[in-house]
Structure formats: structure tokens, C-alpha cells
Chain A
Amino acid sequence: MLYREVGEFKTSYAQDSHTFPIKFDRYRYYFVIIVGLLFIPFIINDYWANAVFLPFLIYAIAALGLNILTGYCGQVSLGTGGFMAVGAYASYKFMTAFPDLNIFFVIILSGFVTAFVGTLFGLPSLRIKGFYLAVATLAAQFFLIWLFNKVGWFYNYSATGMITAPSRSVGSFFITGSESTPAAKYLFCFLFVFLLAWIARNLTRGKIGRSWMAIRDMDIAAEIIGVNPLIAKLSAFAISSFYVGVAGALFFSVYLGAVEPTEAFSIQKSFIVLFMVIIGGLGSIFGSFAGAAFMVLLPVALKNLLVLQFGWSVDIAAHFEFIIIGGLIIFFLIVEPHGLAQLWNLLKQKLRIWPFPY
């Protein structure tokens, strides 16, 4: 009733290859874009930007990246935090070394640097599989964080070992630094999310995405039908790392402004992004967004509920947060191992035949 394909006829190839072939989906997508672009920037304030929108958008990029690697290509990675750190430090070095370079290109270049590092750490994936690979990516996590702590060149020998984003602007709008406005930051991140999600969506349904999925489903069989595992795996690592690097660069320069690697890009980050991907749904673009929204909103909601409503002390609320997040993860895995995206699909199925289910 509410959601149906009936009466949708495709009369050209262009229509056939629409990203959203069903009208309802397409209008929903336009609606989200319009609200995101024309409505939210005018009502956004510091609290909403910092607590909800910026982390959501940035984590969504990271989750997209990890979903490409883990969800589409089947290579589990626990090095996301380390690769985010690469993106962050690359953007810092670009910003300080080339002050005239536009921040947009700084972020893109940081993505490329991270892609290179990611490919390097992806090389063992040709030999190592499954959990062994997951643990091997921890090497990337710990080594990179150690490197950024020890080698002064990366943080320009600052006394604190922290990196601080200088003020940079697009046109007359400041994106980073203290003069930036929440709306400008939000729109800047929104632009990246829009572009990267669009690219990811089209990559994953094209030739390269199909070769990833073939590798994920069974790598030996994929090799036999002519998928080159070297190219497929390394491209997945490279593109995934590009996304994660962009997320790290935005996380540092736009969201936090100043970071210290051990805290900001710890192993916890890797796990949070992995949770997003799994809770959202492996191998689903929508799932990356749903997972990011879930993992960003849950702590905020819990904190509001427990600390502000019940008046509990912060440490008890923090313990409860762990318990509830852990419990919910287990609950979700038991109820629907394929994540929120699958729940959404089931809901669509229900809507399709509503109100006559038989």
C-alpha cells in the first residue's frame, strides 16, 4: 500500500540503472537531502552539531569505508582507528606545510595518503585470512599510533605531542579553527558524506564491487571464475582506507580541532566503527548510516536519560552505558544478525503488502 513497485515501468537504460529504482525510495532520498541541506543548517547550534550531527556524519564515512572492506570484500579489519589517525596526521601535515591549499583538497589528499598506507597493510591479506587477518590488522593499529607518538616530525615537534588544526576556510566560511560556525562545519561534512556515499553506492554495484563480493563469498571460487584476488583485495583496502582517512581527517580538523593519538584514535575507535558496520548491516550502504546513527545517538540518549532525568552520578551512568551497549549488541545479533538494514528490508516487505498481509 504505502510502498510498492506496481506501476513502475522502465522504458530506457538510464531508468533501469537508477540508484533508487522505486519512486518511494527516490522521494525519500530527495527528502533527506533537502532536509539535510536546506533545513538543518539554519537550526543547527553548537550542541547539536558537536553531540549529534558532526560525529554522525564523520562516523558514517568511516563506517562506509569499513563496510566496503568488511561487508563487501569480507576482510575483517581492526585497524580503523590507526587509519583514521593516518588521515588526521596527513591533514595536519598538509595544512601546516601548504597553508594556501584549500581545506577540501587537504582532506582529499589525506584520504589518498591513507589509501596508500592501507594498501601497504593490506598486502598480508593475500596470505592471511579470517581471524588471523583481523589480528594482523591490529599490528597497523598499534604500530601507527606508536609512530605518531614517537616521531616528532608528525606533530611538528610540538611540546605537548598534540596536533591542533589551524583556521582554514572555504570562501569566506571558516571550516576549522575557533572562528568556524556549526552550520559551515556541518555543510562541509555533509558534502563529503554525500559525495562518498554516492561513489560507494556506484562502486559496489559496478564491476569492482561485484569482484569484492565474489571474493567475500568464496575467494578460491572467485579466483577460478577470473577475479584477480590481488587487485580485488588491494583495491578494497585502498578504497576503504581512503574513506577511513577522510573520516579521520574530518574528525581531527573539523570535529575535534585538536587531538592526541593515544586517546582519540585508540583501539576503541576501531571497535566502535566495527560495531556500526555490524549493527547497521554488513554489505549495505544504508546500514552504514543506520549503524553510525545508532552508535552516536545511543550514548547521547543514555546520558540524557540517566544523568539528567534520573540524576545519577556520571560514573554509574557510564557503567550502565557499557552494559546497555553490550547487551544491545548481543540482542541485535540474536534477533537479526544482518543488522538494521535487514530490519528495514523486512519492514519494507511488510509495507508492500499492507494492509492485506495474505
Chain B
Amino acid sequence: MSAEFLYTIEVILNGLMAGVLYSLVALGFVLIFKASGIFNYAQGVMALFAALTLVGLQEGRVPFAHLINAVFGTKVHHFDWTLPAIAAIIFTILVMVLFAILVEKLILKHLVNQEPIILFMATIGLAYFMEGFGDLMWGSDVKTLNVGIPQGGSLWFEDFTIGWAAEGEKFYGMYVDLLDVWAAIIAVSLVLFLTIFSQYTKSGRALRAVADDHQAALSVGISLRVIWVLVWSISGFVALVAGMMWGAKSGVQFSLSLIALKALPVLMLGGFTSIPGAIIGGLIIGAGEKLFEFFMAPIIGGATENWFAYVLALLFLVFRPQGLFGEKIIERV
């Protein structure tokens, strides 16, 4: 095989891995959209907040240290303990559940039956709030997150592929980041877990009933509010996983919340209501933007990754307005 061809395969592989991470964020969107019809813009900030909390707990940082110091003139910053990763993760999950309960109690309850655009705006407000709150609580410096996921290139894979190139070609094997591989494995198991949960448990069945038809679900005695708390908690959990992966990759910082925007074209491509759609959409976008950058960057200039996903989704939607797997839009007058 020629080196050119192998490079292309490498680009596609890495694109697919990045796509898995997009899918993880998109998954949280889909869950909430299906259960409550809310387009949750705060998903990205939730990932950031979860990652911040995880780091903070793990390193034993004092919450609101900045504020306390400013108000009382003290100099606190760390407790004298650190938590093992697994304990920190469990506590963070509890925090996200608490967050879900608060969101339901303070916001969603009051906005039932409002137009979708109003709910969307409310989640943007929530995103702003969480952004300020997270920074205030844990400080706005870039933090490194280490929960024990291996990182760096896989030497084994490099050695494995180095012999594929034709004789005399310059090819040093394919580079695959171990973290990406782990992210892919975790994402797949997460999807399996969610599928089993929604197919075979009582709450899961209630969840699907609500997604299908709010009023019918209410009439058979399913509590919408419990379901909303449940679905926001699950989204919080998914956000935590996404935040962990992205945080381990590029540090926990503000730009983490911007991955939510990257998840939007993924959603459009896959359809807002489809879990497999979110996964496949993520893979297409991930591979597509890396390939486009690989082939087109020398011609039209780099950094096309900023917009390629949106334009691809836009063009795609013109032909199929509900996305790949979205429900057919039926309009009645």
C-alpha cells in the first residue's frame, strides 16, 4: 500500500475517534430533547462543570476559595486530603443528580408548556449561570485532569502498521491516541448501558413512554417531574463522562463548554431524537472534518474544522430536513 493511502486511513481513524467524543456530548442533548422537548444548550457547560467538580474533589480544593478569600481576607485553597479517582467520580455523580433536582425544581417546573424557544433561552441562561458558578466555585485556571486513563500514542499499533507500507516508502506507522481508544470503548459501553436501561427497566420504559407522548404518559400515571429529574441526571452523567474525556485530553478549561457547539451539527445530521443518530452523526462529522482538513487545507487554508461540520450539516439538511434518523416531520394545520 502507498503511504498516501495509509495516511488517509490514519486520518479517518483519528477522525472517527474524535467523532466518538462529539457523539458523547450529542448523546446528552438527545436524551433531554426526547424526554422533555428541551433543546439543552447547557449540555456543554454541564460537561465543564462536571469536570471542574471532579478535579476539585479529587485534589481537595476548597470550593469558593476565591470568594472566601476576597470576603474574609483568608488564604485558603486546598484541604489537606485528596480523593482517589473513583470516589471523586461517585461524588461528582451525586453533585450532578443534585443539580438535576435543582434544575427541575427551580426552572423546569415553572416553564412547563412554554414555547420551545423560551425553554431554549432558559437553558442558555442556565449555561451562563453555570459557567460563572463553576468558575467561582473552582477558580478559572486551566486544570489537569488525571483519572488514570492511559494517554499518548499506541506503540503497539505503530509497530503493527509500520509493515503495511510498500518497500522504500517513508512511513512510520499509524498514530492512535490511547485516550481516544478508551473514549471509544467507554462511549460504546455507555450506549449499551443506556439501551439496556431504556429497554429493560421500569424507569427506562417510563422514559420511553414520556418521549413518545407526554400526555399519554401522564394519563397512565407516570410522573413527568420524576422523569425529568431522572433524564437530567443521566444527561449529567453523560456530561461527566464527556467532560472527563475532553478534560483528560486538553485540560479542564472554559473552551470545554464550546464542544457543545460542535455537538450541534452532529445532532442535525443524526436527527434530534435518535440515539444511534447521535453516534453515527458524530462519526461522520469527526471523520469528515479531519478528511476535509487533510485534503483541502493546502488549497484553501487551514482551520476548516471550525466551520466544516456546520456547512456539511446545513447542506445535508437541505436534502433531508429531519436528519438521518430523525422522526419524519408531520405538520398539521
Chain A residue contacts of B116, Cβ below 8 A: 130-131
Q: Taking A146-B303, A218-B333, A333-B125 as contacts, is the C-beta distance between A319 and B135 under 8 angstroms?
A: yes
**Alpha-carbon separation in the docked complex, A313 to B125 (Å):** 24
Report B95-132 CB contacts with A as 1/0, cut-off 8 Å. 00000000000110011001111101110111111111
Q: Is A206 an interface residue (CB 8 A)?
A: no
Q: Is the CB of A319 within 8 A of B124?
A: no
CB distance from A89 to the nearest CB of B (A): 16
User: Does B66 belong to the interface (CB within 8 Å)?
Assistant: yes
* Given contacts A146-B304, A319-B140, A326 and B310 within 8 Å (CB-CB): no
- A329 interface neighbour in B39, B121, B301, Cβ under 8 Å: B121
Contact of A278 among B121, B135, B313 (CB under 8 A): B121
Name the residue on A nearest B322 (C-beta): A132
Q: Is A14 an interface residue (CB 8 A)?
A: no
With contacts A138-B264, A315-B140, A316-B67 taken as known, whether A330 is within 8 angstroms of B122 at the C-beta atoms is yes
Q: Which of A132, A322, A328 is packed against the most chain B CB atoms within 10 Å?
A: A132
The answer on a CB contact under 8 Å between B140 and A142 is no
User: Is the Cβ of A333 less than 8 Å from the Cβ of B268?
Assistant: no
What separation, in Å, do the CA atoms of A49 and B73 have in the docked complex? 36
Contact B333 A142 (CB under 8 A): no
CB of A142 within 8 A of CB of B306, answer yes
Residues of chain A within 8 A of B80, CB atoms compared = none
Closest Cβ of chain A: how far from B113's Cβ, in Å? 10
A136 x B132 contact (CB < 8 A): no
Q: Is A129 at the interface (CB under 8 A from chain B)? A: yes
Residues of B within 8 A of A130 (CB): 116
| Whole-angstrom CA separation of A267 from B300 in the bound complex | 23
Chain B nearest CB: distance from A87 CB in Å?
19
A347 interfacial by beta-carbon distance below 8 Å: no
In the complex, whether B331 has a CB less than 8 A from a CB of chain A is yes
Known A-B contacts A138-B264, A316-B67; A330 and B126 likewise in contact (beta carbons under 8 Å): yes
Q: Are A136 and B314 in contact (CB under 8 A)?
A: yes
Assess the B307–A323 pair: CB atoms within 8 A.
Answer: no
Please measure, in the bound complex, the distance between the C-alpha atom of A285 and the C-alpha atom of B261, giving whole angstroms: 30
| Given known A-B contacts A143-B311, A327-B125, A329-B124, A127 and B133 have beta carbons under 8 A apart | no
Q: Is A166 an interface residue (CB 8 A)?
A: no
Among the listed A132, A149, A321, which residue makes an inter-chain contact with B317, where contact means beta carbons less than 8 Å apart?
Answer: A132
In the bound complex, CA of A131 to CA of B106 (Å): 24
Q: Does A32 contact B (CB under 8 A)?
A: no
| CB of A327, distance to nearest CB on chain B (Å) | 5
Give the distance in Å from the alpha carbon of A132 to the alpha carbon of B39 in the complex. Answer: 11
In the complex the two chains form, is B311's CB within 8 Å of A128's CB?
Answer: no
Flag A182-217 by CB within 8 Å of B: 1 or 0 each: 000000000000000000000000000000000000
Verify A316–B136 contact, CB threshold 8 A: yes
Interface contact A322-B129, CB-CB below 8 Å: yes
Please tell me if B267 contacts chain A, counting CB pairs below 8 Å: yes
Interface contact B125-A312, CB-CB below 8 Å? no
Whether B136 lies near A224 (C-beta < 8 A) is no
Residues of A within 8 A of B331 (CB): 220
| A322 touching B132 in the complex, CB below 8 Å, given contacts A136-B313, A142-B310 | yes
Chain A 258-276 interface mask (CB, 8 Å, partner B; 1/0):
0000000001000100110
State the interface size on chain A (CB cutoff 8 A). Answer: 50
Is B286 in contact with chain A by the CB < 8 A criterion? no
A76-B117, A320-B132, A326-B127 given; A135·B307 CB < 8 A: no
Residue A334 interfacial (CB < 8 Å): yes
What residues on A are CB-neighbors of B118 within 8 Å?
278, 333, 337
Choose from B66, B111, B268 the contact partner of A135 (Cβ within 8 Å): B268
Partner of B310, one of A76, A143, A220, A322: A143
- Whether B318 contacts A333 by the Cβ 8 Å rule is no
* B268: contacting residue among A127, A136, A150, CB under 8 A: A136
Would you give the shortest CB distance from A270 to chain B, in whole angstroms? 11
Q: Say if the beta carbon of B321 comes within 8 Å of chain A.
A: yes
**Chain B positions within 8 Å of A135 at CB level:** 264-265, 267-268, 310, 313
A134: chain B residues at CB < 8 Å are 120
Task: Please report the C-alpha to C-alpha distance between residue A79 and residue B116 in the assembled complex, in whole angstroms.
Answer: 19
User: Which residues on A are within 8 Å of B, measured CB to CB?
Assistant: 76, 124, 127-132, 134-136, 138-139, 141-143, 145-146, 149-151, 218, 220-221, 224, 267, 271, 274-275, 278, 312-313, 315-316, 318-330, 333-334, 337
Across the A-B interface, the 8 shortest Cβ-Cβ residue pairs = A322-B132, A326-B129, A326-B128, A329-B125, A139-B310, A323-B132, A142-B307, A319-B136
Write the residues of chain B forming the contact surface with A, with a CB cutoff of 8 angstroms: 39, 66-67, 70, 106-107, 110-111, 114-118, 120-122, 124-133, 135-136, 140, 261, 264-265, 267-268, 272, 300-301, 303-304, 306-307, 310-311, 313-314, 317-318, 321-323, 329, 331, 333
Known pairs A145-B306, A319-B135, A323-B133. 19 more at Cβ < 8 A? Answer: A124-B314, A128-B318, A131-B272, A135-B264, A135-B310, A139-B307, A139-B310, A139-B311, A141-B310, A218-B333, A319-B132, A322-B131, A322-B133, A323-B132, A324-B132, A325-B125, A325-B128, A329-B124, A333-B118
